[in-house]
Amino acid sequence: MKKIQMLIGGRWVGGEKDEWLPVINPSDGEQIAEIVNGTANHVDEAVRAAEAAFESEEWRAWKPHERGNLLIELARYIRENAEHFAELECRDVGKPLTQARADAEAAARYFEFYGGAADKVMGDTIPIEDGLLNATVLEPAGVTAHIIPWNYPLQIIARSVGAALATGNAIVVKSAEDTPMTAHALAEWFADSPLPKGIYNHVTGLGAGAGAALSAHPKINHVTFTGSVGTGISVMQAAAKNIVPVTLELGGKSPNIVFEDADEEKALDGVVRAIIQNAGQTCSAGSRLLVEESYKEEFLGKLKARFESLKVGRGMDDKDIGPILNKRQFDQIMQRIEEAKAQGKLISGGEAVKVEGGEGGHYIAPTIIDGLDHDCPVAQEEIFGPVLSVFTFKDVEDAIRTANSTDYGLVAGVWTKDIDVAHTVASRVKAGQVFINNYGAGGGIQMPFGGYKKSGIGREKGFIALRNYVQVKNIAVRFGGG
Ligand code: NAD
């Protein structure tokens, strides 16, 4: 059994004295590895190693373009080993291999993008008065913590670590206890890289142990947390005690809003893909369909046919939909489906699926539920499975009101040929990203991503995310006789 150790201060940590946790392949329930259940002491060691490395002369001597080149090298390494990374992610998360390959490419793109940005993060000169040169300098925050969810570990590590390393920080990653495999593969690369020891650290373990210890550590200078709202609140509370800023990327209940004049094929494709990707275990899943009342019957009929043609299978079999992460997630989703059946009308799916060779896994048929009240829990809360709830709207105002009727605001899709309608909806929907006649846009490495309302605080991806990891220092220089 592969034993995954933690990378702390350039050393591999984890031995007989430690508690070990199993890592399970969701496709068949087989154990694929073991991780250390990292403790508060391990976290403390990692943070102190990061702090020492950050303060070292060795790290200060690294020029921005050298950090950038290193990230670009990492991107190249991921591309050269894309199949290895994709298979690890596929076995660990359960997602279909094609989707895992897309994750490997997205991770490479993040490192490449932030590698290119490393020597282009600049301050301003600000005119004050004659005889005074005033400039802002963007300095690295210091030690940055990155708490990672289980659903897209490779991509999510790459997007925040890429930006934080580009800006010169020292990193502590806490990977998700269920899916540490690609996080470990990245740690192996960093361990062999020329980075000063302690600049990149990877700790494993449970959220309540290692995760809580990391977010509460007084020597952390910034926390990027991606995960559920409840945990996000705990992380923010812990960080608040140390006056440490947080970037929170949380959940969603994102609407796809389909008008009668939409390009039907594109809208059908978009709506299906937005909810089945990673079996719906995606923060930006399009889990609500809002369809114009007059068009509902026709659109829903075609959507049902599409749903019923989807294939469910093991990750490595590369079908449309893979397994649910584990029994706990499966039970939660099935409970929501049962509630939805009782409160509304089942249009498609709504049941567990048996998969040959995947008897030890948990699979759910892609599901459509109609006729729910807007305010019932199934319509309001993230289900995190392949479950689409359908609502109708009468006109543009009604569509906007319904789209904004949850506590979330991560992503929205609008499908119409009417430019006026499209922009009216886009300007009034409370969501961090709005897609018009598309959804998800190729991974969107360069596009700011983040939430309104309970979907989060701050933005990741794109240039804007570099700002998460810097302090702004103003320097005023008096010169001449003034
Ligand atoms: P989670 O909140 O259970 O766990 C996320 C991470 O936090 C894990 O590493 C976990 O070990 C750790 N953790 C748990 N308790 C902790 C605590 N008390 N203190 C510190 N860390 C703790 O989330 P999950 O189930 O892994 O992921 C699913 C959720 O993540 C969904 O809500 C999904 O929408 C969200 N998500 C959001 C984005 C985004 O970018 N907005 C991306 C992916 C997932």
pLDDT tens for 15-42 read 999 999 999 999 999 999 999 999 999 9
Annotation: CATH topology of 2-250+457-474: Aldehyde Dehydrogenase; Chain A, domain 1 (3.40.605)
Site to substitute for ligand 1 among 6, 92, 156, 226, most atoms within 8 A of C-beta = 226
* CA 394–ligand 1 middle distance (angstroms): 36
* Cα–Cα distance measured from residue 158 to residue 291, given in angstroms and rounded to the nearest whole number: 36
Residue-wise DSSP of 365-415: --EEEE---TTSHHHHS---SSEEEEEEESSHHHHHHHHT-SS--SEEEEE
Pocket of ligand 1 (CB under 6 A): 147-152, 174, 176-177, 207-208, 211-212, 215, 226-228, 231, 234-235, 249-252, 283, 382, 384, 410, 456
**Which residue in the list 34, 45, 249, 382 is annotated as catalytic?**
249
Nearest CA to ligand 1 atom 6: 149
The first and second tokens of residue 170, run together, are 């020292």
Nearest CA to ligand 1 atom 13: 207
The minimum-distance atom of ligand 1 relative to the CA of 238 is 19
Site to substitute for ligand 1 among 155, 203, 283, most atoms within 8 A of C-beta = 283
Q: Structure pTM? A: 0.97
Site to substitute for ligand 1 among 42, 147, 173, 324, most atoms within 8 A of C-beta = 147
**Residue 294: count of CB within 10 angstroms of its CB:** 11
Domain map (residue ranges) of the chain: 2-250+457-474, 255-445
The minimum-distance atom of ligand 1 relative to the CA of 206 is 11
* Cα–Cα distance measured from residue 478 to residue 464, given in angstroms and rounded to the nearest whole number: 32
* CA 251–ligand 1 middle distance (angstroms): 9
The minimum-distance atom of ligand 1 relative to the CA of 450 is 41
Nearest CA to ligand 1 atom 22: 207
The first and second tokens of residue 380, run together, are 């309001």
For the chain (length 482 residues), average pLDDT per consecutive 10? 96 97 98 98 98 98 98 98 98 98 98 98 97 98 98 98 98 98 98 98 98 98 98 98 98 98 98 98 97 98 98 98 98 97 97 98 98 94 97 98 98 98 98 97 88 98 98 97 68
- Predicted pLDDT at 441: 74
Measure CA 220 to chain center: 21
The minimum-distance atom of ligand 1 relative to the CA of 174 is 9
Annotation: CATH topology of 255-445: Aldehyde Dehydrogenase; Chain A, domain 2 (3.40.309)
| β-strands 363-364, 352-353 pairing | antiparallel
* CA 250–ligand 1 middle distance (angstroms): 7
Site to substitute for ligand 1 among 47, 179, 231, most atoms within 8 A of C-beta = 231
- Predicted pLDDT at 482: 62
* Cα–Cα distance measured from residue 289 to residue 275, given in angstroms and rounded to the nearest whole number: 10
Nearest CA to ligand 1 atom 15: 207
**Which residue in the list 283, 292, 382, 460 is annotated as catalytic?**
283
Closest residue by Cα to residue 383 from 297, 196, 475, 254: 254
* CA 329–ligand 1 middle distance (angstroms): 13
Tell me, yes or no, if 73 is annotated catalytic: no
Distances (CA, A) of 326 to 30, 54, 359, 394: 11, 38, 12, 40
Nearest CA to ligand 1 atom 11: 207
* Cα–Cα distance measured from residue 363 to residue 280, given in angstroms and rounded to the nearest whole number: 12
Tell me, yes or no, if 249 is annotated catalytic: yes
* CA 176–ligand 1 middle distance (angstroms): 8
